[in-house]
A and B are shown apart, each in its own frame.
Chain A
Amino acid sequence: MAIINFERTSFHVDAPGMFTTVQDSGRVGYQQFGMPVAGPMDGESYALGQALVGNFEPKGALECTVLAPTLTLRGNCIVAFTGADMQPTINHVKVPRYIPFLCHAGDVISGGFAQCGMRMYISFSGGIDVPLVNGSVATHTKSKIGGFYGRPLQVGDTVYLHRVSVTDVTICRFDDTLHRLFNVALYNRGGRYCHDPFRVVLGAQSEAFTKDGIEAFGSGLYTLTERCDRMGFRLKGPTITHKIGADIISDGAVFGSIQVPADGQPIVLMADRQTTGGYTKIGTVITPDLPRLSQLPVGDDIRFHLISIEEGQYLYKEYMSIWQQRIDLARLQHRYIFDTDC
């Protein structure tokens, strides 16, 4: 049954939320020109959202921080909420996360403060239509690049979505419990298991630290300070002492690199990190632990656990296999609701 023609849809920003930016999988390949990657803080929640709304290529979605925005749709599209639990609503009715919804012109998408986690993703079929910069629509607010004019959304903005090529969507009979494949309780970003120790592979520059310094880092409790943003998480805890100094000849850094300036307090570099840095880096948080780190609020305490590169890569493979299973589940969830060919 052909239900809807997906025309060019837009949404109006009635309230912007606390810090809502357009993100896709990031600007890959341009770090050699000093261009930061940006992209989602919680790459897994973002990717699941894309699969749920039926986007096969990663497209622009909204990353909402702490407080959800309120958006009025002008046109029809499929919407899904993933990541932090901001108690999303459609037309003031609370709806579950990790399930795609067909929304119509005039529908109001909203939510509240995050109950669990810090960042929720709102994905739209077709994705957000803003200019590509170096192959990506990811917003890097510090350099005012990408996304919607390089900045977070503001009241009154009108944001367009890409036209979706699939014009016929058949909706199967929706039974809330029968058709929900994701156990949302398992995706409580920022919940219990999110505080497990964060696993770190030491780098060559760990040589710059004293034995006591590395021991303090590997066993101490570190608190997320209020200076935690998309660029980096500044932590406060036992001082990681240097042998001589904290400065190095600037070199490259990745998402999860932990740099330690002269004050001995670690900074975990996050999605909006600079491409290179001049402070000693003790090590790097492994890929599987980054999504849950990105969902922790200011004031939470974390620990680090040092592992070998072999163990790190074993965990990486294990995680990517789980990641793929979840993406497959999200695609299945999409087909459960929208009986499309895609």
Chain B
Amino acid sequence: MNFPNFSPVGDAAISAQFGNVIAPEINRRIRQVMEYIVNQQDDAIIELVPTYCALLIQYNPLVYSYDEMCAYLTRACENFTTSDSSEFVSVVHIPTCYGGEYGMDIEFVAEHNHLTIDDVVSIHSGVDYLVYMLGFIPGFTYLGGLDSRLETPRLSTPRTLIPAGSVGIAGNQTGTYPSDSPGGWQIIGRTPIVMYDMNRDIPSTVNAGDYVRYVPISSDEFRYIENHRRDYTVEVLQHKVGDIRGNY
């Protein structure tokens, strides 16, 4: 695999771009570089933000110049290991009500891809999605593995309010809004469960490295779970990587 491309993000941050596709091995490489940097315990490294294909590093420009950061990161990229495939992973079941008032853009997604609404639901819920990263807002999961038949561009002007639990599609990405938020994704459904709770030890229901399985529910089930949210236990199953549904 090639070395990343470096570019400045203002005067106090640098981006290392590892590729331009969403792929588990690229993401794994980013995690490795990140781990290396964290282990250096360097006070001049202020914050690391890993994403699908890039690692953003905020640093102190009084300590490192941009060129010095490029050299620093080049060193960090010099030791990678290859991936181990026979491990167990967590598959988190997210009950989701598709379409209607909960998924106002499902018709657009269907029309855009020449599908029926039922097709959209069965394709979207028929795959297990790898959680590549959390970002955008606390607990927002960026998932990989969306079937290409569902790819739909973002809204050209983002909405100012998307309700918590909304499940959306943007380009070849899909994910769930953990809280009310502005956003530009095409909304196809909504889950009634709490995706992010600041008072829990692990606030996010789904974490990086987990897989997400959307389980279709009716609007009656949605309201039932919504009303019994506190008692609802999220179903998490352990599967072998080989048994994960989708193209991995």
Contact = CB atoms under 8 A, between A and B. Distances in A.
Contact of B10 (A33, A133, A249, A256): A256
Given A35-B138, A145-B198, A274-B135, A249 B11 contact: no
27 contacts: A29-B46, A32-B47, A32-B133, A33-B204, A34-B137, A34-B139, A34-B140, A142-B180, A143-B181, A201-B10, A247-B153, A247-B154, A247-B171, A250-B136, A251-B15, A251-B52, A252-B56, A261-B154, A261-B157, A274-B135, A276-B51, A278-B154, A278-B184, A287-B11, A309-B66, A312-B8, A316-B61
A251 B53 contact: yes
A274 B136 contact: yes
Given A34-B140, A286-B10, A204 B17 contact: yes
B58 interface: yes
A31 B173 CA distance: 20
A142 B20 CA distance: 31
B180 to A, nearest CB: 8
Contact of B198 (A133, A201, A285): A133
Interface string B36-55: 00000000001111111111
Contact of A33 (B53, B61, B65, B139): B139
A315 interface: yes
Interface in B144-160: 153-154, 156-158
Interface magnitude class on chain B: 35 or more
B142 interface: yes
Nearest to B34: A32
Contacts of B53: 249, 251
Contacts of B133: 32, 276
Contacts of B12: 254, 287, 316
Contacts of A144: 179
Contacts of B5: 204
Nearest to A255: B10
A287 B10 contact: yes
Given A278-B173, A281-B9, A284-B9, 18 more contacts: A29-B46, A32-B134, A142-B137, A143-B138, A143-B181, A203-B9, A203-B10, A247-B170, A249-B51, A251-B52, A254-B9, A257-B9, A262-B154, A263-B156, A278-B184, A287-B11, A312-B11, A313-B11
A278 B52 CA distance: 11
B6 to A, nearest CB: 8
Nearest to A277: B136
Nearest to B8: A309
B16 to A, nearest CB: 10
B157 A309 contact: no
Interface string B175-208: 0000111101000000000000010000110000
B137 A36 contact: yes
A250 B158 CA distance: 15
Nearest to A273: B136
Contact of A245 (B47, B49, B153, B204): B153
B11 A201 contact: yes
A275 interface: yes
Contacts of B180: 142
Contact of B7 (A203, A245, A313): A203
A322 interface: no
Among B21, B135, B157, chain A packs the most CB atoms within 10 A around the CB of B135
A312 B62 contact: no
A195 interface: no
A250 B52 contact: yes
B106 interface: no
Nearest to B207: A33
A276 to B, nearest CB: 3
Given A262-B156, A313-B66, A201 B46 contact: no
Contacts of B204: 33-34
A266 B106 CA distance: 28
B154 A313 contact: no
Given A142-B181, A145-B198, A254-B13, A274 B137 contact: yes
Nearest to A309: B8
A211 interface: no
Nearest to B204: A33
Contacts of B244: none
Contacts of A36: 137-138
B22 interface: yes
Contacts of B65: 313
A31 B137 contact: no
A261 B183 CA distance: 12
A5 B39 CA distance: 46
A93 interface: no
A254 B158 contact: no
Among A249, A253, A288, the one with the most B-chain Cβ atoms within 10 Å of its Cβ is A249
**Chain B CB within 10 Å, residue with most, of A36, A143, A257, A279:** A143
A176 interface: no
